[in-house]
């Protein structure tokens, strides 16, 4: 099987399997927070191929200045592990050491330390996001780093055990490729989402399916839509993760997509809202999953007014030759009362009568618990979103403080008796 990922680099897993406990005895332990743990897991399974560990200074430098890795591979977002200087000193860590990363009170991975370095956080933020404004959530995240970083390769020692409903949707990059092969998909178009689907999203996915099918005959179907949700940092008002996954899956279960053209999975990643640079990252990520095409709509991965609506599409066009995935560029869908259908602004001339799918408007409807018309949201999607609200969201399909505090974890880690006494 061809398991080549971004820039024709093989998608490799970096996982220690078997009796790992003995190998970990005596290692110093460095606890990591959720966002780092998620990136450790993604690095280890090859989601970020060819990056297989936390970046060193040179990699960060070239990522920021030339948007590439030192070997010239296109790369847009720094993948870094910040540490507290006093903790490094306390543990006596130095380049060449291995350290055990701990999360949820259990071993997670080993890090083979290559380098310690400091970095100007303002520069990192400005070159990644095009701004130093801390109102930008990515800038805020960067400015909260300690400024001291450790670089090195990762080896996962404890594979995450995903809880329901996440377990139903979890696939590693290699498992994605196996699943595509099982479905006889030759072309796969990725849909990046953090949303519960309304009919505007559904229609965009259907438009993208035809684009991705290209010139393949349709007597037998060999093209699929991969809905790859981003599961990571949540803010109040976001849709809860469970409603996103189950709502997207309800489109197929409700028959709006056939079984042989639709699949829902997720990737552990905290959205950076880096607009154009994040669009490049998403293209790389889905290349590594085995996708051949990727949907990019208006203001992809943007936030507020930090980027122009088609900045991301412009950057993808500029970097097209360095990508192994074809962008499917889309304009917005709207509901047109004249056409009496959900249609695309690139096609419909009734602009003055168009009704836009605003996220605010859909949220307002769901907050009232009012079942939308079928033209707005499929009843099966609405039903599963509201049942997810009851089951997982403390009564709300949106993230609340209670959800942030008490939600069930996405995954658990097996406890091991390895910590140094």
Partner 1 sequence: MTKDGGIKIDVWINEERLEKLKAAGLAEIAREKFAGMMVLEIACTEELKDALLRKYPSAKYDSSTTHSIELIPREAKDRIFSTALKLHSTGPEVISQFLQEKND
Which helix or strand (DSSP H or E) is residue 191 part of? strand 187-193
β partners of residue 103: 106
3-class state of residue 247 by DSSP: helix
The nearer residue to partner 1, 306 or 398, going by C-beta atoms, is: 398
Find out whether 375 and 354 touch, Cβ atoms under 8 Å: no
The nearer residue to partner 1, 199 or 267, going by C-beta atoms, is: 199
Helix, strand, coil percentages, rounded to 5, for the chain: 35, 20, 45
Q: Which range touches partner 1 (CB under 8 A), out of 185-193, 291-299, 373-381, 405-413? A: 373-381
Q: Looking only at residues 298 through 337 of this chain, which bind partner 1 when binding is defined by CB under 8 A?
A: 335, 337
Cβ partners under 8 Å of residue 122, min gap 6: 132, 143
Cβ partners under 8 Å of residue 91, min gap 6: 28, 30, 99
Q: Which range touches partner 1 (CB under 8 A), out of 98-106, 212-220, 367-375, 404-412? A: 367-375
The rounded Cα 57 to chain-centroid distance in angstroms is 24
Among 10, 369, 379, 409, binds partner 1 (CB under 8 A): 369
Question: How near is the Cβ of 353 to partner 1 at its closest, in Å?
Answer: 12
Question: How near is the Cβ of 253 to partner 1 at its closest, in Å?
Answer: 23
Cβ partners under 8 Å of residue 405, min gap 6: none
371 binds partner 1 (CB under 8 A): yes
Question: How near is the Cβ of 196 to partner 1 at its closest, in Å?
Answer: 15
Question: How near is the Cβ of 360 to partner 1 at its closest, in Å?
Answer: 5
β partners of residue 224: 188
Q: Count of residues binding partner 1 (CB under 8 A)?
A: 24
Q: Looking only at residues 197 through 256 of this chain, which bind partner 1 when binding is defined by CB under 8 A?
A: 199, 236-237
The nearer residue to partner 1, 65 or 364, going by C-beta atoms, is: 364
379 binds partner 1 (CB under 8 A): no
Q: Which range touches partner 1 (CB under 8 A), out of 286-294, 311-319, 359-367, 408-416? A: 359-367
Lookup: tokens for 223: 């093209």
Lookup: tokens for 300: 């992809």
365 binds partner 1 (CB under 8 A): yes
372 binds partner 1 (CB under 8 A): yes
Look at residues 108, 85, 94 and name the one whose alpha carbon lies nearest to residue 29: 108
Residues near partner 1 (CB under 8 A) are: 199, 236-237, 335, 337, 342, 355, 358, 360-361, 363-365, 367-373, 375-376, 398, 400
């Amino acid at each position: 099987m061809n398991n080549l990922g971004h820039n024709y680099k093989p998608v490799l897993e970096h996982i220690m399997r078997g009796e790992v406990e003995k190998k970990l005895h005596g290692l110093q332990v460095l606890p990591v927070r959720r966002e780092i743990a998620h990136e450790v897991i993604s690095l280890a399974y090859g989601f970020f191929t060819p990056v297989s560990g936390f970046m060193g200074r040179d990699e960060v430098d070239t990522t920021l200045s030339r948007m590439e890795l030192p070997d010239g591979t296109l790369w847009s977002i720094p993948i870094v592990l910040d540490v507290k200087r006093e903790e490094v000193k306390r543990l006596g860590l130095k380049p060449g050491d291995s350290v055990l990363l701990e999360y949820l009170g259990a071993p997670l991975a080993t890090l083979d330390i290559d380098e310690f370095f400091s970095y100007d956080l303002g520069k990192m933020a400005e070159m990644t996001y095009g701004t130093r404004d801390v109102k930008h959530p990515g800038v805020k995240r960067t400015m909260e780093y300690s400024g001291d970083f450790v670089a090195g390769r990762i080896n996962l020692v404890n594979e995450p055990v995903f809880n329901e409903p996440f377990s139903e949707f979890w696939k590693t990059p290699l498992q994605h490729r196996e699943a595509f092969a099982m479905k006889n998909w030759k072309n796969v178009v990725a849909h990046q989402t953090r949303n519960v689907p309304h009919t505007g999203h559904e229609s965009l996915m259907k438009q993208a399916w035809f684009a991705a099918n290209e010139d393949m005959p349709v007597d037998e179907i060999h093209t699929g839509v991969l809905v790859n949700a981003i599961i990571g940092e949540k803010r109040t008002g976001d849709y809860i993760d469970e409603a996103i996954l189950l709502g997207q899956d309800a489109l197929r279960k409700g028959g709006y997509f056939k079984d042989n053209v639709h699949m829902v999975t997720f990737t552990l990643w905290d959205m950076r809202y880096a607009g154009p640079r994040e669009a490049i990252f998403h293209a790389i990520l889905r290349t590594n999953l085995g996708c051949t095409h990727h949907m990019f709509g208006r203001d992809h991965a943007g936030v507020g007014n930090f980027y122009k609506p088609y900045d991301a599409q412009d950057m993808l066009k500029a970097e097209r030759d360095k990508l192994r995935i074809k962008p499917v560029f889309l304009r917005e869908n709207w509901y047109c009362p004249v056409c009496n259908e959900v249609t695309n602004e690139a096609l419909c001339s009734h602009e003055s009568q168009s009704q836009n799918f605003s996220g605010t408007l859909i949220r307002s409807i769901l907050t009232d618990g009012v079942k939308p018309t079928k033209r707005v949201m499929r009843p099966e999607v609405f039903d599963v979103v509201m049942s997810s609200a009851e089951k997982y969201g403390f009564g709300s399909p949106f993230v609340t403080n209670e959800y942030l505090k008490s939600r069930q974890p996405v995954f658990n880690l097996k406890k091991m008796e390895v910590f140094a006494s």
